[in-house]
Structure 1
Amino acid sequence: MNASLRSSQGKMNTNTTPDDSPREEEHDWDSYLIETNSEAAPASNFKQALIPPVNDFIVGEKLESIDPRNQDSWCIGTIIEKDGPRLRIRLDGTDDRNDFWRLVDSGDIRCYGTTAKLGGQIVPPLGFQLTSTRWTKYFERNVKDGPFAAESCFKPQPSKPEKNLFKKGQKLEAVDPRHSNLICPATVSNVIPGDYRIMLSLDGWSSLNNFKVDYLSRDIFPVGWCKLAGIRIAKVGGNPPSRASNKILPTSPTKQNENVRQQQSKNKKTIVSPLPNDSSHSPTTMDEKNNNLTTKEKINQRSKTKKENGNSIDSDEANEDTKKKRPIVTVYLNYLGDNSGMLLNPQKFRVSMPSKFGPDECHVVLTSIFDSCIKCAFQQASFIKRIIDVF
């Protein structure tokens, strides 16, 4: 079945706009499978259409989408970019940090108006930048008039395999979970019997990057599927492929995004490893180390020996001195109006949230604040996940 996928690649029409830029060398699956002495996972293992669906969407159109960070909510999203049958979507009211990708035959997107027909309600996304009370005005001004994607653009979901049929060592194509715009060659590194998930490793990368996915995930594809769909996959352990042919909705970075990037740059640490030929880092014997000890270090060693023999100094006294050096903080809460954000229940917030935390050590105060916020959250699991994503 995989052979039929690869043999029909030249017959498909891609959904991206051609350009005159030089084309990079594409990943050659046939040669790669021979070189690695491996086999491709059968196409019947995947919840994907054998023939990639056509992408009739237009960049800038709006649709309804499930909020990836709150699976119970249907929100309005705008198509920012196209790549084959994939759509890059940004929920209206959020910025580019929370963009995500969906296939045109995904069950997570649907035509605008479907939620209302089913008796539901469109809600602001998690992380909506304005207050919840201003969502109605925002909707009227920015969403109500569209443009909306036609119902014919949404394709039916493909059939799914009855059970997990993957085997260890099989090759496939997978979305990089850290860079969802990239699709990379990957290997099934482990299959746990009875589990609905499989462990994947991105070829050419450290095992530290291994991750688990549901065997029904729409982010894994049979070998050759992406080429058939007009999507360029990343090289094995190499740089991302250029996607100059893709249509992208122009966006400008916000001041908030710029501040975040600057903060991330400040937080980066550089670790310098010693050079092999550097004499200052050459191996030394235990005798040499002892000879190089300063008088102060020798005294410390003697003190350590005495401590082991029962003649130690009073540890409680030392701990008390250390504790005194730690800063003591107090946090005051100034709460005005009904704006407790999208995550916290305003009523619980007013009743349960203390007006003051501390005085105490920093980590104690911070823990108290988090605990109080969790108690006031609409959905505690969503709140905790959001905090983990931020930090």
Structure 2
Amino acid sequence: MTVVEVCGYRIKLHFDGYSDDYDFWVNADCPDLFYPKWCEHNSRIVQPPKNYENNFDWNNYLRVTNTLPAPIWNFVSTYNLGSCKKNKFQIGNKLEALDKLTRVLPKQLICVATVADILGNRIRIHFDGWSDDFDYWTDITSTNIHPVRWCDNNGRILTPPNGYNDFKGKKPFSWTEYLRETNSKPVPENAFVRRPLRDFVINTTIEVVDLVVPSLIRIAKIVDVKGDELKILYDGFDSNYAYWIEDDSPDIHPVGWSLKTNHPIEIPREKECLWSCKVIGCNGKGNSNSLTNNHIIAKDCPYEWDSWKKSVAGLSKLSDRLKNVSFSCDTVVQ
């Protein structure tokens, strides 16, 4: 990957060999970033640039592209992975986990899942019976993951592996049988140590990365709090645009963070001063249909209602960078 832009404490990254459509913004201390040769040092496989024909070698690649490696001391999160306290999660263990695509739906799905990978105190969740397109990384203290039989013990419905009912007929899902059939073990119950909830309060103000134009940071108000979820609304936008975000999201910051890190912040637009797209709160920045930084008409506005709903639901218009498979479904903003 290449750093293509730096703004305050945030960086824009580009996948070498791929379209700019896949560029994305992260905080400089993002735990998903690794220094060059990290994979080599940790027995991992690094994905080479698209159409790269030679065996990948960092020294050769840097020489050919006439580029420099990012300094290793920039990678505080991943450089110290080895010092993380050992936890009781193991690759292959079973658990119950929230399907994050259903986070904004009235009926959330909690599914049979497997620990697919581990990095320090973070685990990769894989939903049994599904492709890895739906995998996600989460901290071991997350409230999105639960021990086996958690649904039974808490009056929730557990979604069995995809295709399991076709194989088993109408027979109810049984963890005892499934663990035996898959020759697997559950994550120990005492491995699930919940972090304390943050002290967020309704009607207080935060700074947040714009959901649909992630180069921007906006002023937002917390309009509701449920456990570790915050419902936030950008200042100047209609109340329909309020959405839920996890309270440990790297995209939320305290008031003054932008000033402290020298990052621009969007000033709310007066409601009577509508942009040409006629979306209240929009200032013409961003484009839902191209890489341009602005728009004029509503169909190109990233805050246009249908486009906004898909973004809130976590649905991307882009096909998978490696598999070229897209996923879509209907959803609503709650």
TM range (shorter): 0.3 to 0.5
Decide which structure has greater helix share. 1
| Structure with max Cα Rg | 1
| Structure 2 length-normalised TM | 0.39
